[in-house]
Every structure is written in structure tokens, then in C-alpha cells.
Amino acid sequence: MDINNLFSVEGKVAIVTGGSRGIGEMITSGFLANGVKVYISARKAPALIEKAKELSQKYNQECIPIPCDLSSNEGIEEFTNTITQKEDGIDFLVNNAGAAWAEPYETFSEQGWDKVMNLNVKSMFFITQKIKPLLTKRASVDDPSRVINIGSIDGLNVPALETFSYSASKAAVHHLTRVMAAKLVKENILVNAIAPGPYPSMMLGPAVNHDYSEIEKRNPRHRVGTPEDIAGLAIFLCSRAGAYTVGETITSDGGIVKTASHNLS
């Protein structure tokens, strides 16, 4: 029952897709600060490599960049082949890479639909499928491997913005989490999802000109999310404390979904 045992993730190996910025970077930082070796991916190699170097130095822990485009099967194959060459097994997979698209209903494009659905849903499924052999290597009844899918409260609420494919994709992520959890729990791999509300990120930021004051005012907690909020939840799900939690979608939104009387997303 000691807290250091309950919540320890030390010595584990994790993958965080889209781990170089936003929520992915926050989760990566939380893992690194607590003794986890982390592989991060993103499309833009220079920024990814620079971020991995910065985080490795900051936390004195290995953060390894793997530049790739996870929106295609070729990119996923390349990514998983690289990981397989470097590691015999993986403990945690955080499927965080994602895209958003906003466009008026009347002109909403097929490009905006396919780009978002392919990366947010299709890629998430196939990355987990391809990484599964590495997840099973480390998994046991007492110490299962973990998969965390990053959803969104926009997959639970009706969003304020015209992001039709994004909200549909995140609702799909939440249900896919339950379906994958039912399949993989038999092999000691626990799958859960986190549905974040407003966090400072390159996804939300441009929509509000990186001014979060209005969002903070309307949030039940009167603030946006912090790295500690999302990293703490990820660490819980990956630690002994979270080993009996399966197939859940946990909101991290300051109370928007459950307590707000009208749509605040």
C-alpha cells in the first residue's frame, strides 16, 4: 500500500505517439520524471529530435525520437520495425497522435474527413495491432501492459466548433477503446482512454489565438489543464493503482462534461 509502490512506473518502457508537444509532451514528461524510458514520434524530424534532446536533459532519462508519419500503413510499419529493433518489449503505449479539422457543414471536405479519421481512429487501431507482440512480451497477470488512447470531451459533448470529423473520430476512439479492451485484457494488456477537455496545445491554441482566459472563465475549475493533471492520470492508469481499471474513458476536463449546465467545449 506504500504510495511509491502503488504509483511507481520506474524502469518501464513507453511509446507516446505525438509525444513532442501538447498533451503528448505532458505525458512524456511525467513518464520521464518518474524513471520511464520513452520513445516519441512526430512527422517533423528536426523539432522532434530537438524536443527529445531537451526532455532527456531536463529529466536525466532517455527520450528517444522516431520521426515518422503514422497516418499511413507504411509509416506505421516503419515505426514498429524501428521499435522492434531497439526493444524486446514495451510496457506502455500511449496513442496520442491526432489531427483536427474545422470547416462549415455546407463545404466540409472529404480531405478534412479522411485526414482526421485516418490518423485519429484507423492509425490508432493499426499501431496497437502492430505493437501488440511487444506489449505481450512484458505482460503478466500481476503486472499487465497498458494502452492509453487519447480521446476528447468533443467525443462526449456536441462541440461548439464545426469539427465534424474530429468529434466523430473521438467518439469512435472511446468505443474502440472498449472493444480493444475486451479483446486484449485476455492477454494481460489493459486498454483505457482519457478524454481531455481544454489543455494548452497546438490543437486548441490556434482556435483561441492562444488566449485561454475566456475558456478558463467558463470552466467549472476556472482554469485549463496542466501537465500534472494529464500526466498524473496517465501514471495512475499505468501503475499498480490502475491495474483493475479496464475499458474506461476517463474525462480530464475540470468538470465540463459532468457538471456544466451547457456546452463549454
Residues acting as catalytic residues: 166
Please give the Cα distance from 119 to 71 (Å, whole number): 5
Sheet holding 13-17, edge to edge: 63-67, 37-42, 13-17, 92-95, 145-150, 189-196, 249-252
Instruction: Write the burial class of residue 227 (CB in 10 Å: 0-12 exposed, 13-18 middle, 19+ buried).
Output: middle
> φ and ψ at 9, to 5 degrees?
-125, 15
Please give the Cα distance from 202 to 11 (Å, whole number): 30
Q: What are the start-end ranges of the E strands in 68-167?
A: 92-95, 145-150
Q: Which residue has the cell 455546407?
A: 106
| Secondary structure class of 261 (helix, strand, coil) | coil
Beta bridge partners of residue 92, listed in sequence order: 14, 146
Residue 40 is classified by DSSP as E
